[in-house]
Amino acid sequence: MIALKINQNIDKHTFSAMEAERINAIQILHHGTGKGNEYLGWIDLPARTSDRLQDDIIRTADYLRSVSECVVVVGIGGSYLGARAVISALRDDFTNEKPKIIYAGHHLSEDYYADLLQYLDTVNYSVIVISKSGTTTEPAVAFRLLKKHCEKKYGPSEAKNRIVCITDARNGILKEIAQKEKYVTYEIPDDIGGRYSVLSPVGLLPVAIAGFDIRALLTGAKDMQDQCTNSKNSIASRYAMYRNYFLKQRLNVEILSVFEPKLHYLTEWWKQLFGESEGKEGQGIFPVSMTFTTDLHSLGQYMQEGQRIMFETFLSVASPKKECVISFEENNEDKLNFLAGKRISAINNAAEEATILAHQQGNLPVMKITMETLDEKSIGALIYFFEYACAVSAYMLGVNPFNQPGVETYKKNMFTLLGKPD
Ligand code: PA5
């Protein structure tokens, strides 16, 4: 379902040393003996998500779909990017499909919130607020605005039917508000951290509201879970090993390149997953993403001839879901008849192959991950693939994959500036 190809030979000696590090990291992960081992609940999450929970999420989603032209999903980081990644990958580009999904709580733009509230005056909407800690400033600010707007528009009692909370089982201000207001609430399991939570209600509810099949998403993830946890030779762990091999060659930047713009938010999710998991204690590979062919006309020059500080992973989709063919034109004014009869995907594939070749010629090590198509099952498998690879990779580096102590520094400074009471 997911394939990995590496265009790089490693000498025998280095390869066996890296293999030993890879197996060691897998053992640490599977035996739960590593740093952050209280956050390993994601490992068997696809297999242990009950039919009952899935049915319940689908029921809530169906209800919200029936009363909403638009659903506002409030969250940041791991409480936001996974759902957006899956929905963007699956939704048609020019759809009028209802409900429209709008995101909030992922920044602090005053203009955005003023526009959003004005827009919400004109449509029927619901709100899902997602925060594991229940105390993160960005979603808390957005939720204060939206709760007030919703109560004013619908009245306090109907607002309760239109607000759903996804938060910690016991702690946090959001949990307290949800209990007081009696909102429908889903729990984020204690042993699952934000960026590993997309296959929990955090991602499942928004994805179901957008009209996609969360059962298939979990089935794809479960297939990948089986592949990763039943064998020491999973492709996810090999991907982790090659990343660390390139890092040892002083290639400190990984570029995840896609030729399908629908995968843009998947690359944003990937950046957060690897960036927050590995970037600590002066270590880690800096994750960057590019969407081609667009970025070939901006950063392509640097990639080809700039400093050799990076390696590149292509994330490729084997088959498009739709068809669009170039026509033959009698007068051939635009001189494009050499493409007549070809599908756009054939041209895109040629661009991808040509780019891989060019970057290799430019001394850029390349890996390629291929998924069959953009459907729920493949995306579920891809999500699990990256989660598992990230944990193995971070353990190979010797860091805790599941904390993010560095994120606190800006928060502390911001609270001081804003005069937040202790
Ligand atoms: O991966 C993480 O844990 C973080 O990125 C969090 O998801 C993010 O900071 C949001 O936190 P919370 O869900 O507590 O609002």
The rounded radius of gyration (Å) of the Cα atoms in the chain is 23
Distance CA 276, CA 287 (A): 10
Phi, psi of 293 (to 5 degrees): -85, -5
What pLDDT is attached to residue 407?
87
Q: Ligand 1, closest atom to CA 76?
A: 10
Question: Ligand 1 centroid vs 323 CA: distance in angstroms?
Answer: 39
User: From edge to edge, which strands make up the β-sheet containing 100-104?
Assistant: 100-104, 70-74, 125-131, 163-168, 184-188
On whether the CB atoms of residues 142 and 74 are closer than 8 A, the answer is yes
Residues sharing a CB contact under 8 Å with residue 26, sequence separation 6 or more, in sequence order: 232, 237, 392
Question: Ligand 1 centroid vs 141 CA: distance in angstroms?
Answer: 15
What pLDDT is attached to residue 95?
84
Residue spans of beta strands (DSSP E) within 236-343: 253-258, 286-291, 310-317
Select which of 297, 322, 323, 335 is catalytic: 297
Nearest alpha carbon to residue 281 among 371, 172, 152, 400? 400
What pLDDT is attached to residue 32?
97
- CB of 276 shorter than 6 A to ligand 1: yes
Q: Which DSSP letter does residue 104 get?
A: E
Question: Ligand 1 centroid vs 358 CA: distance in angstroms?
Answer: 38
On whether the CB atoms of residues 165 and 184 are closer than 8 A, the answer is yes
pLDDT 10s per residue in the chain (422 long)? 889 998 777 888 888 899 999 999 999 999 999 999 999 999 999 999 999 999 999 999 999 999 999 999 999 999 999 999 999 999 999 988 899 999 999 999 999 999 999 999 999 999 999 999 988 999 999 999 999 999 999 999 999 999 999 999 998 999 999 999 999 999 999 999 999 999 999 999 999 999 999 999 999 999 999 999 999 999 999 999 999 999 999 999 999 999 999 999 999 999 999 999 999 999 999 999 999 999 999 999 999 999 999 999 999 999 999 999 999 999 999 999 999 999 999 999 999 999 999 999 999 999 999 999 999 999 999 999 999 999 999 999 999 999 999 988 998 898 999 988 87
Residue 335: CA count within 13 A, CB half-sphere: 0
Active site residue 276: yes
User: What number of H helices and E strands is found in the chain?
Assistant: 16, 10
What pLDDT is attached to residue 421?
87
Phi, psi of 2 (to 5 degrees): -120, 130
Question: Ligand 1 centroid vs 331 CA: distance in angstroms?
Answer: 57
The number of residues in the chain equals 422
From residue 152, how far is each of 20, 159, 188, 414 by CA, in Å? 61, 8, 29, 30
Nearest alpha carbon to residue 296 among 342, 351, 336, 344? 351
Q: Ligand 1, closest atom to CA 188?
A: 13
Best residue among 132, 165, 171, 269 to mutate for probing ligand 1, ranked by most atoms within 8 Å of CB: 132
- CB of 131 shorter than 6 A to ligand 1: yes
Active site residue 13: no
Active site residue 330: no
What pLDDT is attached to residue 83?
98
What pLDDT is attached to residue 274?
98
Q: Ligand 1, closest atom to CA 130?
A: 13
What pLDDT is attached to residue 97?
84
Select which of 107, 148, 152, 411 is catalytic: 411
Superfamily of domain 45-212: Glucose-6-phosphate isomerase like protein; domain 1 (3.40.50.10490)
Q: At what angle do helices 201-209 and 81-90 cross, to 10 degrees?
A: 30
Domain with CATH 3.40.50.10490 in the chain: 2-33+218-397, 45-212
Distance CA 368, CA 349 (A): 13
SS3 for 130?
Answer: strand
Topology of the domain comprising 2-33+218-397: Rossmann fold (3.40.50)
